[in-house]
Amino acid sequence: MSIKQISVFLENRPGKLKEMTAVLAAHDIDMRALSLAETKDFGIVRIIVDDAYDAANVLKENGFVASLTKVLAVEVEDIPGGLDKVLSYFANAQVNIEYMYAFTGIKNPGHAFMVFRVADTKAAEVKLAGMGLKIISQDDLASI
């Protein structure tokens, strides 16, 4: 039930992010979520889209270095303490979070979605779903 995240490596210079988004726009690829982390020389853009394979191929065909990673997407109540409640599941399941970021869906008012990178996605998914967390699949993305 994990989803695919696209990681794109970009030089840290003016206009490179715009070049990447122009390619996605030209191919009608709608980003659900985006996270950007940078260092002095390069940045890593992490993107969630409905069809990750298609988007990754489009980026590669246009000269970008892109890779796919399995991540967990979890539904979170959009209320004070919603994230804290979800993080208690991770703590109780002894699942360490490497990084995370959020996005919202227009079809699910009152809910947000957190993307989590963990060391063992499959094991974490089994533990967390068994505890009652709603894990989002790649197919679910189109309906949120």
Of 52, 70, 88, the residue that ends a domain is 70
Report the CATH number at residue 38: 3.30.2130.10
Same structural domain, 90 and 36: no
Using CA atoms, how far residue 52 sits from 70, 111, 124, 125, in Å, is 11, 23, 21, 20
Rg of the chain in Å (alpha carbons): 16
Report the CATH number at residue 77: 3.30.70.260
Note the pLDDT of residue 131: 92
Domain that includes residue 76, residue range: 71-143
**pTM of the complete model:** 0.90
Of 70, 103, 127, the residue that ends a domain is 70
Q: Each residue of 2-58: pLDDT tens digit?
A: 899 999 999 988 999 999 999 999 999 999 999 999 888 899 999 999 999 999 999
Same structural domain, 50 and 88: no
Same structural domain, 82 and 135: yes
Does residue 142 have a pLDDT over 90? no
**Domains: count for the chain:** 2
Of 70, 90, 122, the residue that ends a domain is 70
Same structural domain, 14 and 64: yes
Same structural domain, 98 and 42: no
Same structural domain, 38 and 57: yes
Biggest alpha carbon distance in the chain? 45
Note the pLDDT of residue 28: 97
Task: Report residue 119's pLDDT band, with 50, 70 and 90 as the boundaries.
Answer: very high
Tokens of 131: 């505890």
**Torsion 67-72-78-83 (CA) sign:** negative
Same structural domain, 60 and 77: no
